[in-house]
Amino acid sequence: MEVTQRIIPPEIQEDGSVRYRSVMSKGKTEAICYLVSRRVIPVVFVPGVMGSNLADKDEQENPVWLLDSVSTVFHWMNRNAAERKAALNPEDTVVYGGGKLPSETPLSTAEMRRRGWGEVAFMSYGNFLAWLDDALNDTHQWQNGIRSTLLSETEARSIGVAALSRDDVALSYKYRYPVHAVGYNWLRSNEDSAKRLAARVNAFMAFYRSKGFMCDRAILVTHSMGGLWGASSLSRWAARKSSWAW
């Protein structure tokens, strides 16, 4: 009887460990579980200006700027300048982490919250974060994932990037790339935001080291004007921190 292979996708638990879940199947089958690397490079997404959710500093469960959908920001159209200024006061607001989360992802709600996905605009970035995390952590699909398609010059050229070599792809699978997000109070100074970003990146890295993973660097993915300040401000901040690796 011919043996049918079943590839079991890994499930990443909240402590960073990996679980493979399978069920009984008919016929003669062979379960394939690809090992997931113990080396982790957090991918940290920084949104554009106004792309971070904000809350009242004294009532942090009360969002004042929430970008879950068009309807959550529609009411701002009917508010005058004085009302907007009062509500969006840099001294009275903080980043809000309770925003809407994507549903099409194997990650738990607690894990998405830990990674900061609720801090950024769902209507702009929610589905993107889920797609990016899936695309970067597709060990079980290494033969037909996005990286394999980019071995083709034609496919790579169609999206404006250079083709990958087989060595590039092989090296990339020696790491895990869990996707995180860091919002910032865009009403405050770049320096304040850069300090928060640096602290969050350090906390993400420390979390993985505390679970026994090798983690000594991070990758920033930035968008729009938020990306401009994020890259420049954090670079200056990190230059004073000898423990940072880039």
DSSP string for residues in 112-139? HHHTTGGGB-IIIIIHHHHHHHHHHS-G
3 state DSSP class of 54 = strand
Residue 234's pLDDT is what? 58
Confidence of residue 246 (pLDDT cuts 50, 70, 90): very low
Question: Which tokens hold the place of 173?
Answer: 């699978």
- Those residues whose C-beta lies under 8 Å from the C-beta of residue 187, and which sit 6 or more positions away, are 54, 88, 89, 90, 93
User: 60 or 29: whose pLDDT is higher?
Assistant: 60
Q: Enter the pTM of the model.
A: 0.84
Whose tokens are 């830990």? That residue is 114
Confidence of residue 230 (pLDDT cuts 50, 70, 90): low
For 54-65, the pLDDT digits (tens) are: 999 988 888 999
Where do the domains of the chain lie? 1-34, 37-137+176-238
Whose tokens are 């159209």? That residue is 77
- Those residues whose C-beta lies under 8 Å from the C-beta of residue 215, and which sit 6 or more positions away, are 39, 40, 41, 42, 205, 208, 209
